[in-house]
Structure 1
Amino acid sequence: MQWVRPDDAGYDEARTLFNAMIDRRPAVIAQCTDAADVREALAMARKHGLEVAVRSGGHSVAGMSMIDGGLVVDVRPMKRISFDAESRTATVGGGVTWGEFDRAGQELGLATTGGRVTTTGVSGFTLGGGSGWLDRAWGLACDNLVSVDLVTASGNEVTASATENPELFWALHGGGGNFGVATSFTFNLHDVGPEVFCGLLLWPADAARDAALAFRDYVHSSPEALGANLVGVIAPPEDFVPAQMHGKPALAMVIVHAGSVEEGREAVRPLQELAPAADILAPRPYAEFQGMLDDEPGQFNYWSADYHDQFPDEAVDVFLDYGKTLPHESSQLLLAPWGGAAARVDPASTPMARRTSRWVSHPFALWRDPAQTEEAIGWARGFRRDIAAFTSGGVYLNFIGHEGQDRIKAAFGAENYARLARLKGEYDPENVFRGNQNIQPATAEPAAP
């Protein structure tokens, strides 16, 4: 255990998060190497009446893994990674990132659904559900869970699986960090590589509509092994991009295929035939693809999201219009198809509502100049306002910040939220773990007089 306090040399580095908008100063950061350290940290918080936040990857856009004046349980030192090729499972510590996970699995040609950038933490991503490039092929990250080890608010160590604490295991399939500090995860794995067909297609804004409509019409009939997202971007000044497109709005398709390279070429061909201005699809190691869209650190972030059961032409037009007005060269507007394995789960197996939604839209505002904050947040909120007529009412919580309790309840539905609240009342009745998309603990009914 390492305690990091405001006067220590590493304090500022230890409290820095992915989102540069967040500048919080905890009283102490407990850098934990195992479950015993977590127990000690939570006991310290109870003794001194400190509020608690839990940090793994630090990618929460709302900064939920950092707190002013409280205690941060930092599990990043928990870096154990163990692969079992025979059982096709992997067990990883609560501080592992998806880049570390994927690079370790690359050697065995095995992976599971991971984050869309390598710096995302396995823990928060998975507990929030876990939508990645290949969720149509493999399901969400939480769908691939075998077990989770937790330390509860009272300091107890528990394991949740299909056979051990199954109700808690259900809650951890999207219920977030409401029930304890996750110290270890075991996942089922899938074959990937050693190389996959992957990369990027790019169109200028004036040629984007036909490509976007064709993508929408094709992707849900395409092989489930095809992970393809539509992304509004600013064309980068790279050699593979025509010079006349540099720095201008463009439409990208980010593509990866989970099967063989030959199968990937065939699945992607209908998209390549749409005459992109740039095409960098090629065989690459899966772990290399996972890092292709990593964002530079130190940027301001504001995200939101919505589910869609359909995405008609009018919705495509809204998407494209906002793709032409990105507030910064790092900003993106993402449209991700759901379906396939992610939609075939038994609705009762996870608390996440509307798993059969066909699309997720995700305005992803990034910028560097604080003076641009109002414009950037206004852009993301404006997209949500103008796309609202085509939304289904659901939301994927990993894609949003603090947007109120109604949005949290919409992610689960009334029945699932009530069930989660009962579990919260059992495992964390004092709401110690409230630095998250918070589920309020249900209180016991008063006894009859």
Structure 2
Amino acid sequence: MTRTVGTDDVRTGTSGVGSAAVAALRTSFEGQVLAPGDEGYEEHRRVWNGSIDRHPALIARCTGIDDVRTAVRFGRDSGLTVAVRGGGHSFPGLSTVDGGLLIDLRPMAGVRVDPDARVAGVQAGALLGEVDEATQEHGLVVPSGIVSHTGVAGLTLGGGIGWVMRRYGLTVDSLESADLVTADGEVVRAAEDENAELFWGLRGGGGNFGVVTDFRFRLHPVGPQVTAGATFWSMDDAEQVLRCYRDWVADCPDELMTIVVQRLAPALPVVPAELVGRPVIAVAACYAGDVDEGEAVLRPMRTCGSPVLDLVAPKPFLAHQQMFDPSYRHGCWYYVRSCDVAALTDEVIGVVAEHGRRITSPLSSIALWQMGGAVARVADDATAFSGRSAGFTFNINGNTPTADGFEDQRQWARDYWTALAPWHTGVYVNFLMEEGGARVRQAYGDAKYRRLTALKREYDPANLFRLNQNVPPG
């Protein structure tokens, strides 16, 4: 149950933080420090997932690394539970807290691009769309996700899967270095040649070790035009479409990345009125290479069976990166279950077809991510990310515009995930809800979990940073 925290809590109540300490924080802080009742508090306490409704005792909106250090030390010394927010896209709402300190990095959204060196410096509050806009001016990209208002920090620290990963790898595979504020408020740099074990852990281990304030990424050529979009079929044809898809991607080039989507056809200008609300299965694709080559590679799938809508065309990569934005609006209610599978066997296809036909919410969907390519060619133990050998990753979303019907959609997602249980091989940590410590350990595997635990003991022995997919120090 959500508890509303009043200003008395900040002064002398359950938070245990005195007014003098709060006043001292405000004096030493360049950014904003917001308490309940302050102008802007209601706006900045909210996160992307509308089902999360929490009230921090204080929100520290950081403008630079000194603010982050100050906020971390305040959280440590005050005993407040600390949450860290970049873009605020955490499915389970781990980027906010009831009655604690929210360290808000969103004001730190700078992006610095060196097109000649093909590197970008990105602050931790930046969103994917902001990075894309800066890099696409030069026909370059940081491999990232598929919703432009996702935060760079959370995506990166969990691994980072997206439209160009099969050609260029995960987001973490392009990470050259990161600056981190530790639990004692000190700044460390992590890279292959400095604090290498920490650098290993940051590439998939989430926010367990401190607050990353700056990332340095390698850039790669993509666009500005790509062949991309989605082809739709009736859900009645799901089995035929999935078998055709399975054969098509079996030996496809790395430039091709696809996501199979099941949903009710959305009410968008590009969707004919007679199709809106009908159950459909779609193959969304992006060819990160020559536009004409992409058209030839995509043609066999687009001619499978009888598509009801084909939106594949040459387009700006920036436009394609925003394709899913309308389906993941701020403030809607989101619930996800996820798993990796090795292959689309006939049995898995049967589960997909059956449960896709049970979708009743206009926002519920599945996204079945094609893995492989460059992701799989990096050694499994090279980073903390797990899942490089996965064939496909399921993201099963039971979503609603408001609280109405949310319980039913959440149960649909759970039932779908349970039906796939015989074929589970792992899970992408960024797609976990609050599922318990055993599930986090499963996400990493025993060997990686032991390394992460050792890092946690070194950098955060008191587990100050525990609002995440937590690896306790033991």
Query: What are the superposed Cα offsets for residues 156-207 of structure 1, whole Å, 9 maximum, x if unpaired?
Result: 1011000010000000110000011010001111111121111111001122
Equivalent position of 1:431 in the other structure: 463
**8 Å Cα contact 1:327-1:379 kept in structure 2:** no
Q: Which runs of 4+ in 1 moved over 6 A?
A: none
**8 Å Cα contact 1:220-1:339 kept in structure 2:** no
The Cα shift of 1:26 comes to 0.5
The Cα shift of 1:116 comes to 1.1
Q: Could you tell me which amino acid in structure 2 is paired with residue 95 of structure 1?
A: G
**8 Å Cα contact 1:232-1:320 kept in structure 2:** no
Would you say 1:320 and 2:350 are equivalent positions? Answer: no
The Cα shift of 1:391 comes to 1.6
Equivalent position of 1:162 in the other structure: 192
Q: Could you tell me which amino acid in structure 1 is paired with residue 319 of structure 2?
A: E
Would you say 1:276 and 2:307 are equivalent positions? Answer: yes
**In structure 2, C-alpha distance between the alignment counterparts of 1:236 and 1:74, rounded to whole Å:** 33
**In structure 1, C-alpha distance between the alignment counterparts of 2:268 and 2:45, rounded to whole Å:** 34
Query: What are the superposed Cα offsets for residues 206-260 of structure 1, whole Å, 9 maximum, x if unpaired?
Result: 2232111111222131111111110001112445445443211100111111101
Would you say 1:191 and 2:224 are equivalent positions? Answer: no
**8 Å Cα contact 1:55-1:74 kept in structure 2:** yes
Would you say 1:340 and 2:370 are equivalent positions? Answer: no
Would you say 1:12 and 2:42 are equivalent positions? Answer: yes
Equivalent position of 1:228 in the other structure: 258
2:217 counterpart SS class: strand
2:408 counterpart SS class: helix
Query: What are the superposed Cα offsets for residues 417-441 of structure 1, whole Å, 9 maximum, x if unpaired?
Result: 0110010000000000001000011
The Cα shift of 1:49 comes to 1.5
Would you say 1:310 and 2:315 are equivalent positions? Answer: no
Q: Could you tell me which amino acid in structure 2 is paired with residue 325 of structure 1?
A: R
**8 Å Cα contact 1:327-1:375 kept in structure 2:** no
Q: Could you tell me which amino acid in structure 2 is paired with residue 353 of structure 1?
A: S
**In structure 2, C-alpha distance between the alignment counterparts of 1:158 and 1:119, rounded to whole Å:** 28
**In structure 2, C-alpha distance between the alignment counterparts of 1:368 and 1:237, rounded to whole Å:** 14
Matched residues, percent identical? 42
- 1:22-421 to 2 correspondence within 5 Å? 22-238=52-268, 240-274=270-304, 275-294=306-325, 295-392=328-425, 394-421=426-453
Deviates more, 1:205-214 or 1:177-186: 205-214
Deviates more, 1:433-442 or 1:268-277: 268-277
Q: Could you tell me which amino acid in structure 1 is paired with residue 50 of structure 2?
A: A
Deviates more, 1:346-355 or 1:175-184: 346-355
The aligned length equals 441
**In structure 2, C-alpha distance between the alignment counterparts of 1:22 and 1:171, rounded to whole Å:** 28
1:150 counterpart SS class: strand
**8 Å Cα contact 2:73-2:183 kept in structure 1:** no
**In structure 2, C-alpha distance between the alignment counterparts of 1:348 and 1:266, rounded to whole Å:** 36
**8 Å Cα contact 2:112-2:122 kept in structure 1:** yes
**In structure 2, C-alpha distance between the alignment counterparts of 1:9 and 1:377, rounded to whole Å:** 34
**In structure 2, C-alpha distance between the alignment counterparts of 1:220 and 1:159, rounded to whole Å:** 41
> Could you list the runs of 5+ residues in structure 2 that have no partner in the other structure?
1-30
CA RMSD of aligned residues (A): 1.2
1:228 counterpart SS class: strand
2:50 counterpart SS class: coil
**8 Å Cα contact 1:196-1:283 kept in structure 2:** yes
Q: Could you tell me which amino acid in structure 2 is paired with residue 427 of structure 1?
A: Y
1:367 counterpart SS class: coil
TM-score, with structure 2 as normaliser: 0.91
The Cα shift of 1:55 comes to 0.2
**In structure 1, C-alpha distance between the alignment counterparts of 2:430 and 2:66, rounded to whole Å:** 28
Q: Could you tell me which amino acid in structure 2 is paired with residue 46 of structure 1?
A: R
**In structure 2, C-alpha distance between the alignment counterparts of 1:6 and 1:286, rounded to whole Å:** 41
Query: What are the superposed Cα offsets for residues 376-411 of structure 1, whole Å, 9 maximum, x if unpaired?
Result: 11001001111111222x110111211111111111
**8 Å Cα contact 2:367-2:396 kept in structure 1:** yes
1:6 counterpart SS class: coil
The Cα shift of 1:102 comes to 0.5
1:301 counterpart SS class: coil
Q: Could you tell me which amino acid in structure 1 is paired with residue 114 of structure 2?
A: D
**8 Å Cα contact 1:79-1:94 kept in structure 2:** yes
TM-score, with structure 1 as normaliser: 0.96
**In structure 2, C-alpha distance between the alignment counterparts of 1:279 and 1:240, rounded to whole Å:** 10
Deviates more, 1:21-30 or 1:231-240: 231-240
**8 Å Cα contact 1:79-1:92 kept in structure 2:** yes
> Could you list the runs of 5+ residues in structure 1 that have no partner in the other structure?
443-449
Equivalent position of 2:27 in the other structure: none
The Cα shift of 1:374 comes to 1.7
**In structure 2, C-alpha distance between the alignment counterparts of 1:296 and 1:53, rounded to whole Å:** 22
1:176 counterpart SS class: coil
**8 Å Cα contact 2:50-2:402 kept in structure 1:** no
Query: What are the superposed Cα offsets for residues 278-326 of structure 1, whole Å, 9 maximum, x if unpaired?
Result: 1111111111111111122211000111011122112112112221222
The Cα shift of 1:352 comes to 2.6
**In structure 2, C-alpha distance between the alignment counterparts of 1:23 and 1:386, rounded to whole Å:** 30
The Cα shift of 1:106 comes to 1.2
